[in-house]
Structure formats: C-alpha cells, structure tokens
Amino acid sequence: MNKPQITIKDIARALNVSPSTVSRALKDNPDISQETRNLIHAYAREHNYKPNVLAVNLRASRSNTIGVIVPQLVHHFFSCVLSGIEKAAAEAGYNILVAQSNESYEQEVKIVHSFLAARVCGVIASLAKDTSQYDHYQDLLNNNIPIVFYDRICTGLKTERVVVDDYAGSFAAVEYMIQTGCKRILFYGAAPHLEITKNRRNGYLDAMKKYKIPVDDSMIMLCDTRERAISITPDILEGSEHPDGFFAINDETASGILYACKLVGKKVPDEVSICGFTDGAIAQSTDPKLTTVEQHGEEVGKSAFSILTGKLEGGDDKSSNKIVRTNLVVRGTTK
C-alpha cells in the first residue's frame, strides 16, 4: 500500500518549526538559516516530499501547464501532432494536459471550462467537426489565456494558428492524377464550414480548372469516414457517369474507397485512381498502398508549442502563424 504524500505541515510538525519556515526553507529563502534549510531539505528528500502543483498554481497568476485539445486520438495525424507537442514541452519544462473532444462541440466546451478551472497558462486546440460557435474560446482569451489553433482553425477569433498547406497539397495531388490519365475525379470532403475542407476543395477545383475539366455538384460529396465511403461509393462506381479517380480528404476515407472498388470489381489503379491525405499507418497497410499527401504532424505540434510559449515567455503581441509544407507520396493506388 502506497504511503500518502507528506505535506509542508507534516514536515513542520516533525521538525517542530512553523509551516511558513518550511515553505521558505524549501525555496532557499536566505531569511532562514543555512542549518535549518539543510535540515528541512534533508527531511523532505528522505520522505520523498513533492510540492502540490495544483496548490502552487492556485496561488500563482499562471501555471506551467498547457491544455491541448485533440479531436480524435486514434487519428494518425492528431497523434503525431500530440507527439510533437509532448517532445517540445518536455524539453522546455512545461506540463501538458491532454483532452479529446471526440468530434463533439459539447465535449469541447466542457474541456475548455475544465482548462479554465485548472488555470492552464495556454491552450493548443483543433476544432471538433461540428464546432461553429466559439464563445468558449473567447472565454479563454478574456482570461488572458493565449490560444494556438492547429489544422482545424478558428478564423472568427484573433489567435495564432499552425496549418499544413492544404491548398497546395490538394492541387499537387489532383494535378498528378490528371497528368496520369484521370478525366473525372470526385472529391470526398468533410464539413463545408471547416477551413481544411475549403482549402482542400479549392486546391481540387483549381487543378481541375487548370486542365479545363468541368466539375459539377455531383462530383463534390460530404464523405470523411471509411464507413461512409464504403456505403456510398459502390453505387457511384456502377453509375452511368462513374469516376476514374477519387481525391479523399483523409486516408481513412481513401481506404474505404479502395475497399468499395474491390467490392464491385474495379481495378486500382488501372480503372480507378485514389489519393488520400495524411500519410499515416493506414496509407502503408492497404493493398495496394495509398498514394497520399504527407502532413508532417509532428512538425505542426512542435510549431504550435513554439508559437504559444513564445507568446507566454516573450509577451509578443504580434500575430505569429505558420504554414507547414506538404508533399505528395506516390504509391500503388495511382498510376
């Protein structure tokens, strides 16, 4: 059975001094004699004393803890972003408090309120899919808690942000598919209000426009999960105007398209080309392996942390944003 952590009062009682003497001695206050400081430090080490971080934070105007909101921990990109944040935080001596919104606006609001209660010094966040109101984030700003958004950003608030170059990545992917023979490419996107959807759709549209390939409404669809891709793609493939290419907003959706092609007997990439966006474990575990756009999630995480701590430690009022470049990784689902 683990022994309970000793407190400053326990040390004071054992050494017959006041709690304030213990507190000042542990901070090496010169008002306390060296002999008494040595005695108190020795007792604290012997009994494995650890300061109560929460109590310290409550007494201070700012903690050393950064809150991180992740839409989905199982998503490869978000886990890479978190890894980048964790590595940077460990090097800089910050603690991080991680919470998962599970793509829920209501859960996101609860997380932000819990971060306020914990007195975090800053927040790094990516929006849930259905978040379209931002009052909870404004609450953070009203309490002088800076925010850095990553990937799914909020354009309605004056905050810092780190994004990948969604537009350029999409344009390069669709252009490659056109150059390798695709004539009718469908875009499977996420919720239209999300900035990543807008930017990736615009990259798709501009690539199609460059090569004078007409796009109608039936070629842009709301589909951003593997399950939905498997559900809707077979009928599309067997329709009269079936596509010869798909550009998907993420690798999970692209893997669902690939599975649907196999269900209806379409050969990939001979009859249908497929490109995703992320370059996680899924992209290299399908058969054939997915052509996709690499997002460099760990760099996104490190950049978001760097910008946030720059605001915290430097007090710079200037906006600092970063765009992380993407690159196309060609594999077996395109020609």
Report the pLDDT value the prediction gives residue 52, as an integer from 0 to 100: 63
Count the Cβ atoms, other than its own, within 10 Å of residue 210. Answer: 12
pTM as predicted = 0.77
Same fold, 63-162+296-323 and 164-293: yes
37 within 8 A of 43, measured Cβ to Cβ: no
Report the pLDDT value the prediction gives residue 1, as an integer from 0 to 100: 45
Architecture of domain 6-50: Orthogonal Bundle (1.10)
Higher pLDDT, 12 or 212: 212
Report the pLDDT value the prediction gives residue 62, as an integer from 0 to 100: 57
Q: What is the pLDDT of residues 106-131, one digit of tens each?
A: 999 999 999 998 989 999 999 999 99
How many CA atoms within 13 Å lie on the side-chain side of 67? Answer: 28
Is the pLDDT at 188 greater than 90, yes or no?
yes
Architecture of domain 63-162+296-323: 3-Layer(aba) Sandwich (3.40)
Task: State the pLDDT confidence band at 20, using cuts at 50, 70 and 90.
Answer: confident
Phi-psi region of 315 (alpha: psi -120 to 50; beta: other; left: phi over 0): left
Angle in degrees, 0-180, between the axes of helices 34-46 and 8-15, rounded to the nearest 10: 120
Which CA distances in Å does 308 have to 74, 166, 302, 320? 24, 22, 10, 9
| Residue ranges per structural domain of the chain | 6-50, 63-162+296-323, 164-293
Report the pLDDT value the prediction gives residue 3, as an integer from 0 to 100: 60
Q: What is the pLDDT of residues 72-88, one digit of tens each?
A: 998 889 999 999 999 99
Task: State the pLDDT confidence band at 19, using cuts at 50, 70 and 90.
Answer: confident
Report the pLDDT value the prediction gives residue 38, as an integer from 0 to 100: 93
Report the pLDDT value the prediction gives residue 61, as an integer from 0 to 100: 52
How many percent of the chain have pLDDT more than 90? Answer: 76
132 within 8 A of 116, measured Cβ to Cβ: no
Report the pLDDT value the prediction gives residue 56, as an integer from 0 to 100: 54
Instruction: Tell me the average pLDDT across 13-27.
Output: 87
How many percent of the chain have pLDDT more than 70? Answer: 94
Classify 164-293 by CATH class: alpha beta
Between 4-13, 93-102, 126-135, 150-159, the lowest mean confidence (pLDDT) is in 4-13
Is the pLDDT at 150 greater than 80, yes or no?
yes
52 within 8 A of 4, measured Cβ to Cβ: no
According to DSSP, the residues that pair with 278 across neighbouring strands are 294
